[in-house]
Chain A
């Protein structure tokens, strides 16, 4: 476990982001200080999680290592502060958010027309467009394209959609090897776990663990944990895969209906490298990625990277229209519940999400509990509002992973009212009868008591009296889960009601 002072010195190191600070990194605390030298443990739940996601138990597993949880919290808060600095450089930030939300509202209202227009334009540009109802159809289409091209070695750049569809496993089962090329995604692929964050897939892993993984799979020297050296090793390892690949699979950030272009943003250049050499490129996207006009990209590219990492723009913002000379471009567009979501007027603004991850970086629960606690490809506040659309029963506990502080809604670049939708889902899941019986009965009893002052007042009085004479430990017990890790203060002598009357 990390001592406090050690943690602080390590966190200072985290703040130094320039490459010339490598010496400081090398002279930082050694692996043994962290007790992480042992072979990498699987932190995450299995890839196919159980019928009901138990967020509380999963969060408890992450928090059980307080050093890790605290580091994770501060690392993400650091990203959030970088976002704030970048936003402060743009005086029209709030107008940009409003504009982006208005464009996306237009998109959600006109999805049919925009999709038809995009298909026509992309087809005219020489791409082949496929539509898939669900994950299984999506995987079958991709497999079919690869099979008919005879492609067996695939490099993939970041795509949460293919992650959600379980594409890698499907293709592996059918003789196609898929190598994730985003560094964070490669790390979690080697660790055989899902990403824990949509922009920072391996943020839950410490550099010593990455070093151990690379020593095992890439042959780096044991104990090597310098991020620069590890990144160089990954560069060499993945370069070999790029050169050997016979197909590339990528995600899509924006699909322009007016021109049939797809836009893909990366910092690493892995999309551009992956698609530069092989003749076959398959781009996979959810149908909500559509934007009407090329000029709309001005709004979204200004918002995306600033919200995600605090950069003014990603290193590569690439625009592809049709296949490259001598190649083939297939675009696979997936419904998988999105059409039904678009028809749900109470929550369809969530389809505006541009996957920046800002809501995760700011969320006090995400920062402490880690992305795997949500048991969903898209975790965090946006994950909470998307998951129940797919499977309300499975996601029934997720809306409780929220203190309704509203910070997610404040940072969202497309102004999705995330915390309000989380509340909406709490109500809906209760209406669907998906709350546990203890909560259902408890809430009914509580509602009955609170609606009857003649019953509430004597009960509150005796509760207060009892709590006043209990020692702190028992008071915390009485407070249930709220008492865990919190001090429960001594209740006042007088009730609020009595104090209020005395004032009047």
Chain B
């Protein structure tokens, strides 16, 4: 008996072609003059809190950050900061059971780049623990460099190699839902808040 796989492919290939060509890359997306300003406005519209660092380091900004200081368990990945006083630092490299991450309060990580038109930040990882920590945490803090902003999603995908990425995500704002009467509620299943430190 012919498999569904072969049968579906055979029937698809039997459809007469009309010779449609691929339109290629999308040319000339809108120019954005002030990338940090547009990025900040878009990220805030998506519910994020954006803190410009103005040359300061992330540690000094976090020292004044309420969410960070209240955290009991934190994950620090690739950012030069220390846990707030009294907090436990969870080491993702030694996390055996991903379910242990369920009690993490705050994760601070570096985003690879941001997209000005929509305030999204790209992150990618091959680590199951990093992937879990990103979404299981109550609060997420992402550091992104103002010099690493692209205007639109076209330039964003031009930078990416999806072949090299087992998990990559654009995150814009904290998780949210409007499924009850179209009333927007910040904090659905993922983080309740997203703070962006714009370096």
Q: Let me know if A133 and B118 touch, CB within 8 A.
A: no
Instruction: Name the interface residues of A279-336: CB closer than 8 Å to any CB of B.
Output: 287, 292-295, 297-299, 301-302, 309, 311-327, 333, 335
| Also in contact, A187 and B179, with CB within 8 A (given A269-B135, A298-B153, A298-B154) | yes
- The minimal Cβ–Cβ distance linking B166 to chain A, given in whole angstroms, is 5
Partner of A316, one of B25, B169, B180: B169
Q: A321-B163, A339-B11, A342-B15 are in contact. Are A91 and B30 (CB under 8 A)?
A: yes
Within A48-72, which residues are at the interface with B (CB < 8 Å)?
none
User: CB-CB < 8 A to B187: which residues of A?
Assistant: 231-232, 235
Contact A115 B135 (CB under 8 A): no
Instruction: Give B29's nearest chain A residue, CB to CB.
Output: A92
From B50-58, B62-70, B104-112, B123-131, the one touching the partner chain is: B123-131
The answer to whether B117 touches A116, judged by C-beta atoms less than 8 angstroms apart, is no
List residues of A (139-193) whose CB comes within 8 Å of B's CBs: 181-184, 187
Pair B162/A298 contact, Cβ less than 8 Å: no
The residues of A that contact B153 with a CB separation of less than 8 Å are: 297-298, 301-302, 313
Contacts of A19 in B (CB 8 A): 184-186
Contact B180 A317 (CB under 8 A): no
Of B19, B42, B98, B182, which one neighbours A109 at CB under 8 angstroms? B19
**Taking the complex as formed, is B80 at the interface, i.e. its CB lies under 8 A from any CB of chain A?**
no
B30–A90 contact, CB under 8 A?
Answer: yes
Verify if A206 is at the interface (C-beta below 8 Å from B).
yes
Within B17-72, the residues touching A (CB, 8 Å) are 17-23, 25-26, 28-30, 42, 45-46
Q: Residue-by-residue, is A240-274 near B (CB-CB < 8 Å gives 1, otherwise 0)?
A: 00110000000000001001010000011110110
A132 sits at the interface (CB 8 A): yes
Asked whether, in the complex, the Cβ of B17 is within 8 Å of the Cβ of A109, the reply is yes
Among B99, B170, B175, the residue within 8 A (CB) of A317 is B170
In A195-227, the 8 Å CB interface with B consists of 200-203, 206-207, 210, 227
Decide if A231 touches B8 in the complex (CB within 8 Å): no
Q: Does A78 sit within 8 A of B, measured CB to CB?
A: yes
Q: Are B183 and A25 in contact (CB under 8 A)?
A: yes
Interface residues in B145-182 (C-beta closer than 8 Å to A): 152-154, 156-158, 160, 162-163, 165-182
Picked from A111, A203, A272, A295, the residue with its CB within 8 Å of the CB of B134 is A272
User: In angstroms, how far is the closest chain B Cβ from the Cβ of A286?
Assistant: 12
Rounded to whole Å, the gap between the CB of A219 and the closest CB of chain B is 17
- Return A265 CB to nearest CB of chain B, in Å: 9
Given the known A-B contacts A99-B26, A298-B154, are A315 and B175 also in contact in the complex, defined by CB atoms under 8 Å? yes
Provide the bound-state CA to CA distance between A297 and B153, in Å.
8
Q: How far is the CA of A313 from the CA of B182 in the complex (A)?
A: 17
- Residue from A92, A183, A311 in contact with B30 in the complex, judged by beta carbons closer than 8 Å: A92
Q: Which of A268, A298, A299 is in CB contact (< 8 Å) with B175? A: A268
Q: Is A75 an interface residue (CB 8 A)?
A: yes
Q: What separation, in Å, do the CA atoms of A298 and B30 have in the docked complex?
A: 13
**Does A105 make an interface contact (CB < 8 A)?**
yes
Question: Which residues of A lie under 8 Å from residue B77 when comparing CB positions?
Answer: none
Instruction: Determine the chain B residues whose CB is within 8 A of the CB of A272 once the complex forms.
Output: 131, 134-135, 169, 190
Contact between B120 and A342 (Cβ–Cβ < 8 Å)? no
Report if A207-B183 is in contact (Cβ < 8 Å); known contacts: A276-B132, A315-B173, A317-B120. Answer: yes
A313 and B185 in contact, given A92-B30, A111-B15, A200-B179 (Cβ under 8 angstroms): no
User: Do A312 and B42 touch across chains, with their CB atoms under 8 A apart?
Assistant: yes
- Give A contacts to B, CB under 8 Å: 13-14, 16-19, 25, 75, 78-79, 89-92, 95-96, 99, 102-103, 105-106, 108-113, 115-116, 119, 125, 131-133, 137, 181-184, 187, 200-203, 206-207, 210, 227-228, 230-232, 235, 238-239, 242-243, 256, 259, 261, 267-270, 272-273, 276-277, 287, 292-295, 297-299, 301-302, 309, 311-327, 333, 335, 339, 342-343, 345
Interface residues of B (CB under 8 A from A): 3-5, 7-9, 11-13, 15, 17-23, 25-26, 28-30, 42, 45-46, 98-99, 102, 115, 117-120, 124, 126-128, 131-132, 134-136, 152-154, 156-158, 160, 162-163, 165-191
Beyond known contacts A200-B182, A297-B153, A315-B46: 7 more, CB 8 A cutoff: A17-B183, A110-B20, A116-B9, A295-B157, A295-B158, A320-B167, A324-B131
